[in-house]
Amino acid sequence: MKKTYLIFLFILNLQISFGQSIEATKIELNFQEDSHPQNLIASQSGFYFTATDGYFDNFGRELWFSDGTLDGTYKIKDINQGSNSSSPNSFTILNNILFFTANDGIHGTELWKSNGTEEGTVLVKDIRSNNSSTYNPPRNLVAFNNKVYFNATDGVNGYELWVSDGTEEGTNLVKDINTNGNSSPFNLFVFNNFLYFSADDGTHGKELWKSDGTEAGTILVKDINNNGNGSLNGNFIVSNDFFFFYATSDNYYTGTTFYGYELWRSDGTETGTVMVKDIRDGTASSNTEFKGIELNGNLFFAANDGINGAELWKSDGTEAGTTLVKNIDKSNLNGLSYNNIFKKLNNKIYFLGNDNIHGTEIWTSDGTEDGTKLVKDINEGEASVWIEKIHVDESNDKILFYTTSTNSNQRILWVSDGTENGTIQIPNVETPNTSSTQEYFCTFNDKTFFSGKNQKNGNELFVTDGTLQGTNFFKDLNYSTSSAPSKLTDVNGKVFFRGSNEQEFGNQLFSSDGTINGTIMVKRIGENSNIDDLSETVVINNKLFFSAHDNSNGYEPWISDGTEEGTFMIKDIRSDGSSLRNHNNKQYFYASDNKVYFSANDGVHGFEPWVSNGLEEGTFMLKDINTVGNGTGHNAEGGSSNSMYFTELNGYIYFNANIPSNSSLWKTDGTQSGTEIIFTPYSGIGYINKINNKLLINNSSGGYWISDGTTNGTTLSDLPSYLNINTNITLNNELFFISRLKDISNRYGLYKTDGTANGTKLLYEGLNHPTISTVSIENLIKCGKYIYFTITDYWYTNVPELWRTDGNITEKLDIDSSLNSSLFECHKNNLFYTTDNNEIKYLNDNLNEPKSLNIVITNNDSLSEYSYKYNLTSSGDNLYFSGYTDLSGEELFVMTPNLSVLNLHTFQNTDKLNKINIYPNPSNSFINIKSGKWFNKLNIYDIRGNLIIKKHIENTLETKLNVNNLTKGIYFLEIISDNKKLTQKLIIE
């Protein structure tokens, strides 16, 4: 117990010496920025894919990897450094290595490989050096005999067949098939230990070729159309001892028999390459786009015999065994589209069919006519589904696809086990709107990972086991859209603020109790609605009073108790627009005795004083003070009194209002009958302040009035007329304010007053400042027993200085370029403010110089290098601020300062800390520890004083330690020698 206590005291002292380390939690609200995952492909150890950082475009589309866990999902490498995309493509796996094409911005798009690590992701070979952006990259990559084959050109030989073993020297041209041009090998596939493909040697046209990987072994299989026009069209499908394809042998110039494009088969030999059947007699083709699949030794495909339209056929490779399975559309129209999708699962095939009754839907077939049927009428009636891909999850016996349906025009995720009841929609997951050529599903470790979109996160990674309850959001790779929290207001220990979590919803009202789960959008006020950014917010009855518009009523007064039903517009004061000032005109509110006083325009009377208790019936105009003149009401009816400077004194609210003759002092008890004028000086009045239970009222022509709130009790003050008091900062019954100096124009000083000339004192005049010639004093804030303020040049050309005064001693505390009123907050008598080097500093009554807080973000992120921390707001035990990170954009952060540490300001340590040298520091892998003393023990403590690592070593002056198991944060390294301890701070990135 005693040892733990000593360690705690030591760490407290160490924190104060270096600046206290404090944990802050990022509260993410806006996850909308898309990462657009594409090109998913599974390997033995995980799956590869590409993703982008979207709008902010810090690294473009690059290569990612996942082992199926959150922590194991990461960007492998920024291949094309900076905001440009390397656009990885053409993925193929060979021996658990990914081969692909990418553009590093230097070599153009070339062949790359990756083992899933940054250092293992390398360019294989610059095949065509000095290539331009118009160069078609290597493509159609296929793994064969422990090598990768593909179509590429080196700029000399045209587009030909290439091979790579993954090394630069092992990446070579296999054969220059067309010595006078491009042979353009395409549709590469493996069959019976040979690589087959279509190619054009410049003599025979596009025909069938094969290769054993050698130049001599790369040969033409058969010249099907022997007139040199080429015969092949479409891809190849392997089934049992043959592979099938579509070809034509027609020679239109010799008068031979015309077949059109029909079904052919091949066993890989010239004699074994034959037409299976002339399905459609004459010169017409039974299909021009070969689509099909193998099931149980039979080929299933779409064909048109000229009688039944395009329908489902099957073939065992013989003419007699090539037959129509079912005429799905009996109206002689096409039951299958030419560009169909074919998949198989559990001895059945799945495809898109249209029976001219249900529209295009998913069908299934076991190869028989009776077993070929509609799975489910997803888009009921004649409406068709819109499906571009069907993914087969063999681990869970499901197919997955995105489609429109009866209940949604959006393409939503569906899963099916092949039965009508087992075909269900997975709500809240929409299509990623990815090009149909990109793969956005892959199955790994009995789960399917896929690209999807929801309202909260945008287009990101999801995971499913094929069930409704087993479909979940997996990981948000890119969430850099800002929620931009602002107008933070403490309401009884909770913070209310303005922010955005969905781009289409505009700025809405949020609240936070300082936890992630306790931070919610209180209410969606309206589509693209807005809480006015300039207008004030105030609190009455533990509720937030604010200005907002809901797209229907303009800017009007709203109130919120933190619940959806308790958040509403109080009253539509002006039905044809906004009753409150907004945008570039700040709306002021004054709260007193659970009522809010403000100026509003109902469209008839101009801007006049109003009051509200938070209910519609309790919201009304106090008095139409200015009834003449060219006002702002309908048809220029009524003028505006523009009531302002509301101030409470002895149970009444006093304010400035314009009458036709001049500005006057008014008071109200919150009722219409109790609203009356107090006095109207000849020259009018300005600001109203309160001091020593009296009103101090600015005389527009100079000088001040002092008032007890009655007409007879309002008299001229003896305060000097050159003073300009426009503040309500009071300390010890004295008013602190900034005003120009006597007999000196454009020079200002800090004053205090008790309301009398004798009690008025100049605290700082700044004429003799050593570096600033025209001192400007700004940003007064009261905290503890001091008034803090900033000093800068009138033209803002100097670095601001932080000062404070208690009314007697006025002293300089800090100098920093980021000092700004929006960055100050008093939290339990501690002044917090931000600096331009990502720090938050603090001061209190016990400190005569600022101390730094080292902010450690607990949830796997860090503030950006150039991020400012805005909107410091105290609420309960928490201190909130908004900050910017590269991952999240501008979001809300919360921390709980340890006040016992903040109020300590002395530190003694007899050991010299500089006798320990840790490098690198920060680190995320290994650290080297070097000391001027021999040591044989080392300990590492976390920021709370918990012992994390304890190690005994031989006496040494230097050692190396693996710290890659430590999570990101602040630690303290302690070495021990002869029972003496030396300690140094360690930062883990």
pLDDT, tens digit (0-9, with 9 covering 90-100), for 923-945: 888 888 888 777 888 888 876 66
Closest by Cα among 446, 561, 453 to 36: 453
- Cα distance between residue 917 and residue 808, in whole Å: 46
Query: What is the pLDDT, as a whole number, of residue 629?
Result: 63
Q: Which uninterrupted H or E stretch holds 9?
A: helix 2-18
Phi, psi (degrees; rounded to nearest 5) at 7: -60, -45
Contacts for 977-980 with beta carbons within 8 Å, 24 or more apart?
Answer: 977/931, 977/933, 977/934, 977/935, 977/936, 977/937, 980/911, 980/933
What percent of the chain lies above the pLDDT cut of 90? 61
Residue 478 confidence (pLDDT) = 81
- Using alpha carbons only, give the angle 708, 806, 829 rounded to the nearest 5 degrees: 95
The reply to whether omega before 920 is within 30° of 0 (cis) is yes
- Give Cα separations from 671 to 128, 541, 655, 676, 679 (angstroms): 85, 19, 14, 10, 19
Domain ranges (residues) in the chain: 224-374, 643-713, 718-815, 911-988
CA 657 to chain centre: 47
Q: Which residues contact 236 (CB under 8 A, 6 or more apart)?
A: 187, 189, 196, 243, 244, 245
Place of tokens 């080929």: 299
Residue 817's pLDDT band, with cuts at 50, 70 and 90, is: low
Please state the φ and ψ torsions of residue 77, each to the nearest 5 degrees: -165, 140
Which one-letter DSSP state was computed for residue 734? E
The pLDDT score that the predictor gives to residue 208 is 97
- Give dist(CA 719, CA 758) in Å, integer: 8
Smallest CA-to-CA distance from 193 within 210, 209, 208 is with 210
User: What integer pLDDT is reported at residue 127 of this predicted model?
Assistant: 94
Q: What pLDDT does residue 635 have?
A: 41
Identify the CA nearest to 315 among candidates 283, 341, 287: 287
Residue (of 167, 21, 11, 3) closest to 922 by Cα position: 21
Q: Would you state the structure tokens that stand for residue 701, as one six-digit string?
A: 């022509």
Kindly tell me the burial class for residue 524, based on how many C-beta atoms sit within 10 Å of its own C-beta (0-12, 13-18, 19 or more): middle
Residue type, 450: F
Does position 638 have pLDDT exceeding 80, yes or no? no
Q: State the average pLDDT over residues 435-442.
A: 82
Alpha-carbon distances of 878 from 174, 456, 487, 518, 523, rounded to whole Å: 68, 26, 16, 13, 23
Whether the per-residue pLDDT at 4 is higher than 50: the answer is no
Q: What is the mean pLDDT of residues 60-77?
A: 92
Q: Specify burial of residue 671 (Cβ count, 10 A radius: 0-12, 13-18, 19+).
A: exposed
The answer to whether 402 and 388 are in contact (CB under 8 A) is yes
What fold, for 224-374?
Lipocalin (2.40.128)
- 224-374 with 911-988: one CATH topology? no
- Between CA 970 and CA 20 the distance in angstroms is 10
DSSP 534: S
In 3D space, the residue among 531, 529, 588 whose CA is nearest the CA of residue 558 turns out to be 531
Q: What is the pLDDT of residues 87-130, one digit of tens each?
A: 999 999 999 999 999 999 889 999 999 999 999 999 999 999 87
pTM, 2 dp: 0.71
pLDDT (0 to 100) of residue 230: 75
In words, the CATH class of domain 911-988 is mainly beta
pLDDT band at 912 (very low <50, low <70, confident <90, very high): very low
271 CB-near residues (< 8 Å, 6+ apart) = none
Q: Dihedral of CA 652/656/659/662: which sign?
A: positive
Token pair belonging to 94:
């060979």
Question: Do residues 510 and 882 make contact, with C-beta atoms less than 8 angstroms apart?
Answer: no
What's the mean pLDDT when you consider all of the chain?
Answer: 88
Q: Over 80: is that where the pLDDT of 436 sits?
A: no
CA dihedral over 549, 553, 558, 560, signed as positive or negative:
negative
Residues of 683-707 as b/e, b for ≥16 C-beta within 10 angstroms?
ebbbbbbbbeebbbbbbeeebbbbb
pLDDT digits (tens, 9 = 90+) for 849-866: 888 887 888 887 777 766
Q: Which pLDDT belongs to residue 803?
A: 94
Q: Ranked by mean pLDDT, which of 283-292, 567-576, 979-988 comes out on top?
A: 567-576
Residue 17 has pLDDT above 70, yes or no: no
- Span 197-218, average pLDDT: 96
**pLDDT-derived band of residue 259, with 50, 70 and 90 as boundaries?**
confident
* Burial class of residue 212, CB neighbours in 10 A (0-12, 13-18, 19+): middle
**Distance, CA of 929 to CA of 937 (rounded, Å):** 12
